[in-house]
Amino acid sequence: MLETAATMDRLRSFGLAMLASVLPPGDQSAEAQFLRSHGPLGDNCGTPGEHLDRYLAAPAACDRLLLQLGDALGLNRIELLVTAIAAGVETDLMCGRAIAHLQAPVAGSRPTFGLLAAAFNKFGEAGNVIAAILTGAAAESGLLQILNDGAPLAERTLCVPVPLSLALDGQETIREDTAWPGMTLGRMPIFVWVMLTVSGMTLVVLSPLSAAQIMLALDRYLGAHFFDTQAGGSAVMWQHFFWFFGHPEVYILMLPGFGFVSEIIPVFSRKVIFGYATIVAATVSIGLVSLSVWAHHMFAVGMGAPLNSFFALSTMLISVPTGIKIFNWLATMYGGRLQFKTPLLFCCAFLFQFLCAGLTGVMLAVAPFDWQLTDSYFVVAHFHFVLVGSVLFTIFAAIYYWFPKVTGRMLSERLGRWHFWLLVIGFNLTFITMHVPGILGMPRRIYTYQADRGWEIWNLVTTLGVPLQLIAVLIFVVNVVLSLRRGTLAGDDPWDAWTLEWATTSPPPSYNFDAIPVTTSRRPLWDLKHPDDPDGPHE
């Protein structure tokens, strides 16, 4: 696998440097003299440890070195990292450094390197060479004899201070000693709270869906009768299983959008999010209450007044924490120095359209009203105001906001505004008017109807909005392609934001941070930028 002698020399130098770092500065043994007279060290380079620090101090150089090793050995990044850890090399990528640092031996401890040698020996000629370099053993190929007397210098106690390490006897050991300094539940970004809630909801609602799919498969292929009404089964039971997943799934999709908006609006309002604790409580409340509203999709199946009343009330109840969020976002914007960049424009459209979705949702929570509009185009319009007018718009807001961090380049504001206005006009032209034929009795899932129903003009207007939405999406695609090729360089923090992802480079390196930041408030980057006016004392 080693194609050139230069690659061999680089790997050999790295191995010698790692072995040399074991030696105490004053070690004058034959082994020490050998290591100091071979490879890149030399007598004028200072101590082996100092040389190694210079050799690997820069994160970019360290990354290149790891990739060279991986390419030479046929290892992917994870396999290489595990192998390096097994060798006792501290490769703390999250801190931006991979300084191979082997500690001095501790009396009475003689770990072996069987795991490392076995790992390298799986990869042929290169594996033998590197195993020899790192373990002090002769390579089977005879290409390299590191120590004249064969003494295994690497048989020394190694310090591996990384979160996930492999014990030197080959046993796996997990260490949880790298908690984020200063990060508490009360300082977590709202987006993290949102994803925590979504994760819990997903665990709860997917199990009944899986059970329903198993029962349906048994019905169809093995003659079971869980949902076969002619054999004593219940089709309504299938609906309960499905909708227990189906309606919380709407919130599983929508809650991340709430998280996006909660991160974007404060930045472009130049204000702290209004009511952090209230938004967190509302998020968790939505996750809990959403598990009790599923049967509002089933008002027309004949559940009876008690169940209809319960699910109508629970559906109205969930509008309370949702409304709280809307008031929090509006209060954050109120009195702020609003910067109407493209991310904030999409957030503003989301606020209006999600309000419409919520109002029609409350209308459908009234069981007698729902009986008239079940399976009509009114429900289709309501659903699209949630999934397109709310979820999709927040996704676009997030893309325009975090695209500079991910790629290092800005999306065009001019094309972004064309995208926004065409999508807003086209979407509302399509789906606001769609409510009307629904109220007039147009059922969903039909492709034709009689000409005297009075639905023609509304369906025509609905159709005219679609080309505008298509053009808007095409403009977005063009914007992404052009920005990736020649977009304006973003810099590390183009929005003057306050969360920690903007504290690193754009795009961020694989290890994220050179050093783990200390979190002192809910706006840690503000604290770093304004040490004389930190947020912590005011929270």
One-letter-per-residue 3-state SS of 474-536:
HHHHHHHHHHHHHCCECCCCCCCCCCHHHHCCCCCCCCCCCCCCCCCCCCHHHHHHCCCCCCH
363 and 286 inside one domain: no
* pLDDT per residue rounded down to tens, the chain (539 residues): 334 444 444 444 555 555 455 445 566 665 555 555 544 444 444 444 444 444 444 445 445 555 555 565 555 555 555 455 444 443 333 223 333 332 333 333 333 333 333 333 333 333 343 444 443 333 333 323 322 333 333 332 222 222 222 222 333 333 334 457 888 888 899 999 999 999 999 999 999 999 999 999 999 999 899 999 888 899 999 999 999 999 999 999 999 999 999 999 999 999 999 999 999 999 999 999 999 999 999 999 989 999 999 999 999 999 999 999 999 999 999 999 999 999 999 999 999 999 999 999 999 999 999 999 999 999 999 999 999 999 999 999 999 999 999 999 999 999 999 999 999 999 999 999 999 999 999 999 988 888 888 899 999 999 999 999 999 999 999 999 999 999 999 999 999 999 989 989 999 988 888 888 888 888 888 888 888 888 877 77
Number of neighbouring beta carbons within 10 Å of residue 4? 9
25 and 154 inside one domain: yes
213 and 152 inside one domain: no
448 and 310 inside one domain: no
Residue 352, C-beta contacts closer than 8 angstroms, at least 6 positions apart: none
256 CB-side CA count, 13 A: 18
CA 468, 469, 472, 473 torsion-angle sign: negative
139, two tokens: 């390579």
Tell me 376's DSSP state: B
Which region holds residue 512: left if phi is over 0, alpha if psi is between -120 and 50, else beta? left
Is 378 domain-assigned? yes
**Cis bond before residue 507 (omega within 30° of 0):** yes
Q: Please tell me the predicted confidence (pLDDT) of residue 393.
A: 97
C-alpha angle 476-481-487 in degrees, rounded to nearest 5: 100
Tell me 443's DSSP state: B
Owning domain of residue 256: 183-297+305-328
Distance of CA 366 to the CA centre of its chain: 38
213 and 361 inside one domain: no
Q: Which residue has 């034709």 as its token pair? A: 448
Which region holds residue 228: left if phi is over 0, alpha if psi is between -120 and 50, else beta? beta
Residue 376, beta-bridge partner list:
443
How far is the C-alpha of 59 from the C-alpha of 110, rounded, in Å?
32
254 and 379 inside one domain: no
How far is the C-alpha of 366 from the C-alpha of 370, rounded, in Å?
6
How far is the C-alpha of 478 from the C-alpha of 482, rounded, in Å?
6
Instruction: Give the end of a domain, one of 174, 194, 211.
Output: 174
Is 520 domain-assigned? no
Tell me 453's DSSP state: S
Instruction: Give the end of a domain, one of 131, 155, 174.
Output: 174
Q: How many domains does the chain have?
A: 3
319 and 432 inside one domain: no
**Model pLDDT for residues 185-217, shown as the tens digit of each residue:** 888 999 999 999 999 999 999 999 999 999 999
167 and 196 inside one domain: no
452 and 435 inside one domain: yes
| Complete DSSP assignment for 309-335 | HHHHHHHHHHHHHHHHHHHHHHHHHTT
Letter for the amino acid at 455? W
How far is the C-alpha of 429 from the C-alpha of 385, rounded, in Å?
12
Residue 246: closest CA among 387, 395, 392, 435: 387
301 CB-side CA count, 13 A: 13
CA 381, 389, 485, 405 torsion-angle sign: negative
Is 521 domain-assigned? no
Is 128 domain-assigned? yes
Question: Alpha carbon of 268 to those of 177, 433, 496: distances in Å?
Answer: 36, 32, 9
Q: Please tell me the predicted confidence (pLDDT) of residue 535.
A: 81
170 and 189 inside one domain: no
440 and 356 inside one domain: yes
Is 462 domain-assigned? yes
Letter for the amino acid at 113? F
Q: Which residue has 């939405």 as its token pair? A: 469
Is 500 domain-assigned? yes
How far is the C-alpha of 64 from the C-alpha of 80, rounded, in Å?
13
Letter for the amino acid at 431? F
**Terminal CA-to-CA distance of the chain, rounded, Å?**
57
Is 168 domain-assigned? yes
502 and 383 inside one domain: yes
Is 335 domain-assigned? no
Q: Please tell me the predicted confidence (pLDDT) of residue 298.
A: 93
Instruction: Give the end of a domain, one of 139, 174, 209.
Output: 174
Alpha helices per DSSP H over 102-234: 114-121, 124-135, 190-222
Write phi, then psi, for 412 (nearest 5 degrees): -65, 125
